Chains A and B, each alone.
Chain A
Amino acid sequence: MPEFAATGFEAVAAILLAGSVVLVVAMIVAAVSIRAVGWLVAASRHGRDQWARTFLFGVLADGEEQAPRGPLRQRAVADTAMRLSSKLRGADRAALANWLQSHGYRQRAVEMMRSSFAIRRARGTRLFVAALCDRETGPLLELLEDRDARVRAAAARALGQCGISTAVPFLVRAAQSGTRPLPVSVAAMSIIHTAPRSARGLGLAWDSDNPAIAAMAAEVAGFLHLTDARVRIERLLVAGDSPVVVSAATALQRLGDPRSTDAIARSLEREDVQPWARIALHGIYADMHGVRLEP
């Protein structure tokens, strides 16, 4: 049995006490001083961001600005360019991309995308988009198979931002991957952003074993009003499970082609459709006949 009045316990307690006091004092000092230092750092960063914004507006105005020296300012320009690129359109967007390319930012983005650190690869995709030459998507497509799911998602978003519809089959394939899948919702959003004019790129999705991908294809086609997908979507009404059937019917409702009403009527005859899906189908069927069902 231990003896609690022994000197050994006193020594342990004294060491614990001294350690705890030092820990507490150090943490109080750290909390207060980090708050104060953090305020200074934030003010300095804000100043650099302001400077970078003014600098990039100068680039957009005359395109003659020289790249800044010093890593902090270079990083501020890169970060601001990433944010700015999604807000610019047309000639301004092209001017920014040209300047970034001619001053080595594109190369820097590619190096970042080959980094061994996932977060650096993900940031690289954003800088790459900012400095993008329209048709060059190779490095982004490679990252759709990255070992880190967040990097894959970042690459998909970047492709969506570029608006390159030729990337659609790659996004579908990435979502179908058995080993390194891209989240279906991320793929769907990226495809929507690329805004393809035809459903051809969704080819693999219609026959996918994964119901979520088939449903995604129907939703995307519906939102983008891809009328050439109508027949494919109608097939899903017959073959898919309840969530796929509802997604397909909703897509057909969006397409608004009266020829689809027969297919929806046939799906209502299916006995394996769940009750909640049946309610949704009734609503869509009525809507396509111009009837509004009372709740």
Chain B
Amino acid sequence: MNVLHTIFTVVTTVAIFYYLIHHLIFGSVIVRAAFHVGRQQRWEDEQAHALTFSNPLAPGISVLIPAHNEEAGIVASVTSLVEAHYPHVEIIVVDDGSKDATVERLHEAFDLYEAELPVTEPRVGQVGRVLKTYASRKAPGLKVLSKTSVGRRSDAINAAFRRSTQPLVCMIDGDSILEPDALLRVAQPFVDDPSVVAAGGVVLPSNGSKVERGRVTDARVPRTWLERTQVLEYLRAFLVGRSGWSASNGLMIISGAFGIFRREVMAEVGGLDEESLAEDAELVVAVHRAHRRRREDYRVVFVAEPVCWSETPSTAKVLARQRRRWSHGLGQMLSQHRDMIGRPRYGRLGVVTMPYFLLFELWGPVVELLGLSTAVLGVAVGWVDPWLFLLFVAVSFLLSIAVSLAALLVEVIAFGRYQRVSDTLRLALAAVFEPFWFRPIHAIWRIRGLVASIRGERAVWGEMTRKGFADGQ
């Protein structure tokens, strides 16, 4: 009995310290994020954007859009780019083995014709075979590439990258809609600071919002709790997480749904890793690694103002697949770059960000489950007062709610994208309810992903069901 009690005490003490360290780190990330967003807001300069927009020397952007069965949203997505406020935009859509009418929709909307699309970047590889390439009569900057699918988004991006011509490369999803000035805002750091090698913007769920002619004209909070909770998650991940990590040049993830890189930097690391499920994070870590090894000054930044609206899963089944894949990909990526973890040579990324993601993001659900099981055991055998147990559970839930509310506060104070008070109230309620229902099932999905990464399962992209953006939705 004494041995068991000792084990119980050790596990409980470790769990308490684990939570304490987690909250201390994340607390500092929240504070940094608040300062970061505040500073960006104060320095927001419309004049600088206008001068960049009107300047022939503004660096051109190649926007790469992988599309696999995206007939529902591809036209709105491309329209948002054709009408983007940026001087030089090249749009390369890759129809990655779609079985639906993705290419037909583009033909109808942009009057495509067959045209050569030469390879400009042979340093990056490609697996799937190119079938046809098109240009557009209606939108001169638009090119479409049709290829066989190998089941990887990264291969589609690499195929487009090999044919891109501009000095900056932006990746977005086939179901994403960029705000008109999003490219201008996310490209501004590259103009202002030559050491910036990569930048990311905010991705928010478009579910429930009103979309007209490729623009979100009325941002609304979705109707279902599942989608609403995802809005909260995205606010937390982008406005708090990425802003905070970016403030200390320790940003590890730039979303594949809205990220921009210097072309030369992306080519140097060989484009996206074809084998990775977390290819966006893998690319950022590879960029960090290359620059740290050469001891070059560089910055990977996050810009909290520009938004890319993207459709998020509306059913638990699809969401479960997505989250399992994310966790699987994170495990795969951390394992691939394990030599960087805890190494001061790799700066804050190696010493803080990567260990944080390993201990608290990847293994977090397992530790949560272990801690909870141990505490329940302690209550059952009388080692822990039941009231004390309930008190700690309540505190844990309340702190989790507080983190979500902090993200909501940043959004409300700095941006106010959701204009209605009722929407703010709905998001606040979603934050309150989230730990009771979403967090446990999310933990299970994440554990499944972790197990898949430990078992070294082959990474395969899942099918996502899209509703698309009907005009006036």
* Chain A residues proximal to chain B, CB less than 8 Å: 1-2, 4-5, 9-10, 13-14, 16-17, 20-21, 23-24, 27-28, 30-32, 34-36, 38-39, 42, 82-83, 86, 119, 122, 126, 149-150, 153-154, 157, 160-161, 183-186, 188-189, 192-193, 212, 219-220, 223, 276, 294-295
Q: Is the CB of A13 within 8 A of B388?
A: yes
Q: Hey, which chain B residues are within 8 Å of A31, CB to CB?
A: 405, 408-409, 412, 424, 427-428
Q: Would you give the 0/1 interface string for B149-162, flagging 1 where the beta carbon is closer than 8 Å to chain A? A: 00000000000000
Q: Is the CB of A150 within 8 A of B43?
A: yes
B45 is contacted by which of A2, A154, A219 (Cβ under 8 Å)? Answer: A154
Q: Is the CB of A82 within 8 A of B9?
A: no
Q: Return the chain B residue nearest A28 by Cβ.
A: B428
Shortest B55–chain A CB gap in Å is: 4
| Cα distance A4–B378 in the bound complex, in angstroms | 9
Q: Return the chain A residue nearest B119 by Cβ.
A: A295
Shortest A21–chain B CB gap in Å is: 6
Q: Return the chain B residue nearest A23 by Cβ.
A: B402
| Cα distance A38–B47 in the bound complex, in angstroms | 24
Tell me if B465 is interfacial: C-beta within 8 Å of chain A.
no
Interface size in chain B (residues, C-beta < 8 A): 57
Q: Is the CB of A157 within 8 A of B51?
A: yes
* B26-69 interface with A by 8 A CB criterion: 42-43, 45-48, 50-52, 55-59
Given contacts A24-B402, A119-B43, contact A30 B409 (CB under 8 A): yes
Q: Hey, which chain B residues are within 8 Å of A17, CB to CB?
A: 391, 394-395, 398
* B375-416 interface with A by 8 A CB criterion: 378, 382-385, 387-388, 391-392, 394-395, 398-399, 401-402, 405-406, 408-409, 412-413, 416
Shortest A153–chain B CB gap in Å is: 5
Q: Hey, which chain A residues are within 8 Å of B427, CB to CB?
A: 31
Q: Return the chain B residue nearest A27 by Cβ.
A: B405
Q: Return the chain B residue nearest A83 by Cβ.
A: B46
| Cα distance A31–B13 in the bound complex, in angstroms | 35
| Cα distance A192–B57 in the bound complex, in angstroms | 8
Tell me if B120 is interfacial: C-beta within 8 Å of chain A.
yes
| Cα distance A20–B271 in the bound complex, in angstroms | 45
11 A–B pairs (Cβ distance < 8 Å), ordered by A? A4-B388, A17-B394, A23-B402, A28-B432, A30-B409, A34-B412, A122-B45, A150-B43, A150-B192, A212-B194, A276-B121
Shortest A251–chain B CB gap in Å is: 12
Q: Is the CB of B419 within 8 A of A39?
A: yes
Q: Hey, which chain B residues are within 8 Å of A28, CB to CB?
A: 405, 428, 432
Q: Hey, which chain B residues are within 8 Å of A36, CB to CB?
A: 421
Q: Is the CB of A184 within 8 A of B116?
A: no
Q: Hey, which chain A residues are within 8 Å of B12, CB to CB?
A: 4
Given contacts A17-B391, A21-B398, A36-B421, contact A183 B9 (CB under 8 A): no
Q: Would you give the 0/1 interface string for B419-431, flagging 1 where the beta carbon is closer than 8 Å to chain A? A: 1010011011000
| Cα distance A194–B120 in the bound complex, in angstroms | 34
Q: Is the CB of B56 within 8 A of A20?
A: no
Q: Is the CB of A122 within 8 A of B43?
A: yes
Q: Hey, which chain A residues are within 8 Å of B432, CB to CB?
A: 24, 28
Q: Is the CB of A183 within 8 A of B405?
A: no
Q: Is the CB of A10 within 8 A of B398?
A: no
Q: Is the CB of A35 within 8 A of B385?
A: no
| Cα distance A189–B52 in the bound complex, in angstroms | 8
Q: Is the CB of A219 within 8 A of B398?
A: no
| Cα distance A122–B43 in the bound complex, in angstroms | 9
Q: Is the CB of A186 within 8 A of B402?
A: no
| Cα distance A237–B63 in the bound complex, in angstroms | 31
- Ranked nearest first, the 6 interchain pairs of A and B with the lowest CB-CB distance are A20-B398, A27-B405, A13-B391, A295-B118, A35-B424, A295-B116
Q: Hey, which chain B residues are within 8 Å of A21, CB to CB?
A: 398
| Cα distance A112–B248 in the bound complex, in angstroms | 29
Q: Return the chain B residue nearest A191 by Cβ.
A: B57
Tell me if B191 is interfacial: C-beta within 8 Å of chain A.
yes
Q: Hey, which chain A residues are within 8 Å of B425, CB to CB?
A: 32
Q: Return the chain A residue nearest B378 by Cβ.
A: A4
Q: Hey, which chain A residues are within 8 Å of B58, CB to CB?
A: 189
Q: Is the CB of B412 within 8 A of A186?
A: no
Q: Is the CB of A157 within 8 A of B194?
A: no
| Cα distance A109–B384 in the bound complex, in angstroms | 66
Q: Hey, which chain B residues are within 8 Å of A119, CB to CB?
A: 42-43
Q: Hey, which chain B residues are within 8 Å of A4, CB to CB?
A: 9, 12, 378, 383-385, 388
| Cα distance A17–B66 in the bound complex, in angstroms | 48
Q: Hey, which chain A residues are within 8 Å of B412, CB to CB?
A: 31, 34-35, 38
Q: Would you give the 0/1 interface string for B118-157, flagging 1 where the beta carbon is closer than 8 Å to chain A? A: 1011000000000000000000000000000000000000
